[in-house]
Chain A
Amino acid sequence: MQSFFGVTPAESLETHLPVFNAHAGFKDISPSVSAEYKFSDHWSADGSVQYVYLLNDAYMSPVSRTRGLGGRANIGVFALYTFGPHA
């Protein structure tokens, strides 16, 4: 957690962000719904909607708050190829 959301004193001097010690714990909750349709044994399409909400120190971190990363939705559409003999 500290790797991504913590700010050390040295980093604080360089970035002007306040020092922040992020402790290990649950980082986010991210409910999502996706649907997949198989066109063939190997090819399929996947549509996904995901909402990511940061928790605990991840939410409180100046790294997150500076960027307004408290919560966000991700909407994606993917083409997928499945490898394997029994795809």
Chain B
Amino acid sequence: MLTSISRSWLRRICGFTFTCALTLPAHGAHAQPIQRSEQRLIDSLITQLEQVGRGPMELRLGFGPVLTVPDSGKAKFHAFVPLLSFRYHDWFVIEETQMRADIVDFDRKRLNDSDTQKLGQAGTSLEVGAHAVYFYGPARVRSPPGPAGNICSRSSG
């Protein structure tokens, strides 16, 4: 997401700069140094653009406690929840898969209710969704604006 935002902003800056470069020669004696400066800026921005999306493969592993508070019923404390995120070149990202799998109670065998326990374990599913990320210095704030979809395959219960 950051990649696409960066590209979008850089494209806008490049577009604006390109327009200035076209109009500057009409201003006479100052045109040459400003033009060189503009060219350096464009070159720098293009270099930045080329760098975006060339990030290395990154694997992140983590763990921590999670408290689940349902709208109705008792809160549940998970002392150890694994967290996994994987990124490859800014265009393939997996985040929080373990957190969601554990907390959302997809594994129906782990439900406390005796009736739902009899339903057994569910199969594999694929979830798709979207989120926006804002970086502020060393901190990051993430807020997914859209709903998450769910595509499941039927398996034996």
Contacts and interface: CB of A to CB of B under 8 A. Distances in A.
A36 B134 CA distance: 11
A37 to B, nearest CB: 6
B60 A30 contact: no
Given A32-B142, A78-B62, A79-B64, A3 B148 contact: no
Given A11-B157, A68-B72, A27 B67 contact: no
Interface in A29-87: 29-38, 46, 48, 52, 55, 58, 63, 66-87
A31 B132 CA distance: 11
B70 A72 contact: yes
B33 interface: no
B149 interface: yes
Nearest to A77: B64
B123 A71 contact: no
A68 B83 contact: no
Contacts, number: 160
27 contacts: A3-B123, A3-B155, A17-B116, A24-B151, A26-B148, A27-B127, A28-B104, A29-B146, A31-B144, A33-B142, A35-B141, A37-B139, A46-B62, A46-B83, A52-B104, A55-B147, A63-B108, A63-B119, A67-B105, A68-B72, A72-B71, A73-B68, A76-B66, A76-B81, A78-B63, A78-B83, A81-B60
Given A29-B146, A79-B62, 19 more contacts: A3-B122, A8-B157, A24-B150, A27-B150, A30-B129, A32-B142, A32-B144, A33-B141, A37-B139, A67-B113, A67-B116, A70-B71, A70-B72, A71-B70, A71-B71, A74-B103, A78-B62, A79-B63, A84-B56
